[in-house]
Structure 1
Amino acid sequence: MTQPTRGDEASTFDLLRRVKSDGLSADTRAQLELAQDSATDKQAAILLAEDSALLRKVIVQILHMLGYTNVTEAVDGQIALDLLAQQEFDLVLLDIEMPRVNGFEVLAALKKNPALRHLPVIVVSGLDRLDAVVRCIELGAEDFLPKPANSVLLGARVGASLERKRLRDLERLRLLELQREKQLLLTEQEKSESLLLNILPKVIAERLKRGEHTIAERHTDVTVLFADLVDFSTLANHTDAQELVALLNDLFSRFDRLADRHGLEKIKTIGDCYLLVGGLPEPSSRHATEVAAIALDMLAALADLNRERGLKLSMRIGLNSGPVVAGVIGSRKFTYDLWGVAVNLAQRVQSSGLPDRVNVSANTYELLKEDFRLIERGTVECKGIGQVRTYLLEGKIPPAQMSSGPSQRK
């Protein structure tokens, strides 16, 4: 950006008005830096409220002689207030004794208006009694001059008032800039925190923000869920890449909403596999029933997606309960992950399970059998583990049947 020079320096007051409507651009900020050195600004907008045509002419001539040419005249207080509502001024020269609305009433109206409260007002009046002067000052007038106005004194008072206003406005601009920078910083912090919460559980994110570097905990009672689409590789080979990603995003977004609704923690997606857990990072005595409920909802969500998109996708879901280790790994791209035999078994139960069914290990069966209908499937070979007894989750037992024994509900 080309830096402005003294020769093309803009009016300070013009810049202040421009900033109020347009904000602090880089060019305007540079112009303001130059403008801060000037003691006065001859381009300031001055409003003269005086009912005497002769006195208005005299004061305008004095102002022009002093170099202030941007002067607007008002023949009474009401016209002055109307002009102040329509355009911006940097200084008001105000008579007291005027028809319709007098100077005291104008000062009172300015004092009540937050946008005009700080506008400098110099009272120029023949009403020079002490009580009148005191009242003007109490109503917010910055200065008081008796009539007839002395040109030297008027010039000094106008210059001093404009300089004070300019410095006040520059200070307000600095404060505005600081507030905007603070808001931008807060916005970026909110974005960062939102992104962090998309990756990590809230309690874990809070611990990282507090400066913890190594977060790893052992959880003795959790239920792990693996959900994997059946034969998805074949579909991927015959589907456009964008369509494929959109499909997975649609399905997993539905699962994410279910996880939020059930208060469960999504851990990650691995290709077309979705992993979540119940019972951490906050312990829950109902982790198995909560995960079983979402597993059934996930099958329903897949059925909805198939119906809406005209597809025939199938999914295997596997559940297992037991102890795990959970923690954060990575220093740049954080990952909250799970480790342990319970995780491995949940994945094996899923991979050896039946499509479009919730396949459950014996560990989870023991935690669910009082509240859910389960059918024993028998033992299956789980890679790396051996023969494992598994069950199929049918649904939740209606309250009226809760008194029946487990053997009657299979």
Structure 2
Amino acid sequence: MAEALGHVLIVDDNKVNRLLLARNVELLGHRAEAAENGKVAMERLRAETFDLVLLDIEMPEMDGFEVLAAIKAAPELRDMPVIVTSSLEGLDNIVRCIELGAEDYLPKPVNQVLLGARLSSSLEKKRLRDEQKRLLDRFATHEVALDLQNSGFAIGGKRLTASVLFCDIRDFTALSEDLPPEATIELLNTYYTLMFDAVSSNGGIVNLMIGDGLMALFGAPQPLENPAQSAVAAAGEMFSMITVLNQEQRAAGAPEIRLGAGIATGEVVAGYAGTDERAAYTCVGKTVNLAARLEAHTKAAGRRILIDRQTRNSLRDPAAAERIQQVAFKGFSEPQDIFAL
């Protein structure tokens, strides 16, 4: 038996209509399930995965207009194609359905040939949208993908408070000189796998990778309750993971990794930079520069993690950060208070 082309939810309060529509849908090669009203339909849509909805309008408890509005308001459902099948007459009703997000409107009784054409067209559009989402999720972080889905794409940025984390492998050039290219790439891939997990599990995004270094952002594009605390927690997980990795490296006679990390908190300008043809989500500002300077200074200070005063003041336990001497960083008019974790 051939695999069903699509999983269709039929929503109609009339049992005969549900049965006939289900039969027609299955004859077209699709899998059909039914819900007797809008309330049941929304419960099913949130609990199961469907490819398309055939929706009646006049129903008890929750009518078709309310279902369309609920689908449009749910981020996880808003791209679900909905074809209205109704005996309601009048251009105003059809327009209202389309405005609420319906893909199409078929009058009852539904013509089998027309139903097949509309199902095929709507399912193909959904397949293309799903493929676009898959590619976006592959080449952008979940948070950036969500921001694009909710807000759309526009070159430019906005001011907000966030925490920026820079991290890199110390003396990576010397380390890689003793490794064949394939082993170097494998080590970097392992390193990035661990670092990405530490960042994402604490609500951050990695928005820049340069060789053995990375830049992570906490508090944008999605807000966080305490970006500084999240950034510090991520840094802690990074070093914990590298400790475990180094145990395996030693056992295999492979070189170990040493890290340095810098974290700064403050105002940044975050958004999409580039052109309409090619752009990336990033942030700029003094906070970014300070985080980079702090990471670079870990070598001179002999510390693993350095943070600025605003990050330290935002921690649940500020006393855990040890104050060290002020440093005059390039690009800053005044010496900066820095703290070590």
TM-score by length of 1: 0.49
Question: Which residue, out of 318, 336, 339, partners 2:284?
Answer: 339
Matched, 1:224 2:164: yes
Match of 2:338 among 370, 373, 390: 390
Give the direction of change, closer, same or farther, for the CA distance of 1:392–1:189 in structure 2 (3 Å limit).
Answer: same
2:297 paired with 1:349: no
Relative to structure 1, is the Cα distance of residues 384 and 172 closer, same or farther in structure 2, using a 3 angstrom cutoff?
Answer: closer
Deviation, structure 1 residue 183: 5.5
- Distance in 2, Cα, partners of 1:328 & 1:260: 20
Q: Any gaps of 5 or more consecutive residues in structure 2?
A: 6-19, 28-110
Establish whether residue 213 from structure 1 lines up as the match of residue 154 from structure 2.
yes
- Alpha-carbon separation, structure 1, partners of 2:155 and 2:118: 40
Distance in 1 of aligned mates of 2:228 and 2:112: 64
Q: Please, what is the CA RMSD of the aligned residues?
A: 3.5
In 2, Cα distance between equivalents of 1:206 and 1:389: 40
Letter aligned with residue 217 of structure 1: K
Are the structure 2 counterparts of residues 299 and 356 from structure 1 closer, same or farther at C-alpha, using a change threshold of 3 Å?
Answer: farther
- Aligned partners of 1:290 and 1:243: how far apart in 2? 32
Question: For the Cα contact (< 8 Å) 2:141–2:205, is it kept in 1?
Answer: no
How is 1:283-298 mapped onto 2 (pairs within 5 angstroms)?
Answer: 283-298=223-238
For residues 193-208 of structure 1, the aligned pairs below 5 Å read 193-195=136-138, 197-198=140-141, 201-206=144-149
Contact 2:293 2:329 (8 Å CA) reproduced:
yes
Distance in 1, Cα, partners of 2:120 & 2:221: 41
* Contact 1:318–1:347, Cα closer than 8 Å, also in 2: yes
* Aligned residues with identical type, % of pairs: 23
**Where in structure 1 are there 5+ consecutive unaligned residues?**
1-19, 25-110, 119-167, 394-410
Q: Which amino acid aligns with 1:272?
A: D
Deviates more, 1:328-337 or 1:175-184: 175-184
* In 1, Cα distance between equivalents of 2:168 and 2:327: 18
Alignment match, 1:266:
206
Partner letter of residue 329 of structure 1? A
**Structure 1 residue 290 displacement after superposition:** 1.4
What residue identity is the alignment partner of 2:260? R
Q: Which amino acid aligns with 2:278?
A: K
In 2: Cα distance, 1:234 partner to 1:208 partner: 44
Larger C-alpha radius of gyration, 1 or 2? Answer: 1
Change (3 A) 1:169 1:282: closer
1:234 counterpart letter in structure 2: A
**Residue identity in the other structure for 2:308:** S
Is the 1:352–1:380 Cα contact (8 Å) retained in structure 2? no
| CA–CA distance in structure 2, aligned partners of residues 372 and 225 of structure 1 | 20
> How far apart, CA to CA, are the structure 2 residues paired with 1:327 and 1:248?
27
Letter paired with 1:357: R
Deviates more, 1:263-272 or 1:199-208: 199-208
- Matched positions, count: 234
Map of 1:241 onto structure 2: 181
Match status 1:367 vs 2:314: yes
1:222 CA drift (Å): 1.8
Q: Decide whether the 8 Å contact of 1:199 with 1:335 is kept in 2.
A: no
Matches within 5 A, 1:262-341: 262-310=202-250, 311-330=255-274, 331-341=276-286
Q: Which has the higher contact order (CA 8 A, sep 6+)?
A: 2
- Aligned counterparts of 2:319 and 2:183: Cα–Cα separation in 1: 37
Within 2, Cα distance between the matches of 1:177 and 1:281? 36
Runs of 4+ in 1 over 4 A off after TM superposition: 20-24, 168-180
Is contact 2:198–2:235 with CA below 8 Å preserved after alignment?
Answer: no
Q: How does 1:124-203 map to 2 (within 5 A)?
A: 178=121, 181-182=124-125, 184-195=127-138, 197-198=140-141, 201-203=144-146
CA pair 175-366 structure 1, distance change in 2 beyond 3 A: closer
Post-superposition Cα deviations, 1:211-259, rounded to whole Å, max 9, x if no partner, equal x42231011x222111111111122333222322221121111121222
- Do the aligned partners of residues 214 and 242 (structure 1) sit closer, same or farther apart at CA in structure 2, a change above 3 Å counting? same
Q: Quick one: distance in 2 between partners of 1:312 and 1:208?
A: 43
Shift of residue 171 of structure 1? 8.3
Aligned to 2:79: none
Give yes or no for contact 2:136–2:145 (8 Å, CA) kept in 1: no
SS in 2 for 1:288: helix
- 1:4-49 deviations in Å (ceiling 9; x for gaps): xxxxxxxxxxxxxxxx86999xxxxxxxxxxxxxxxxxxxxxxxxx
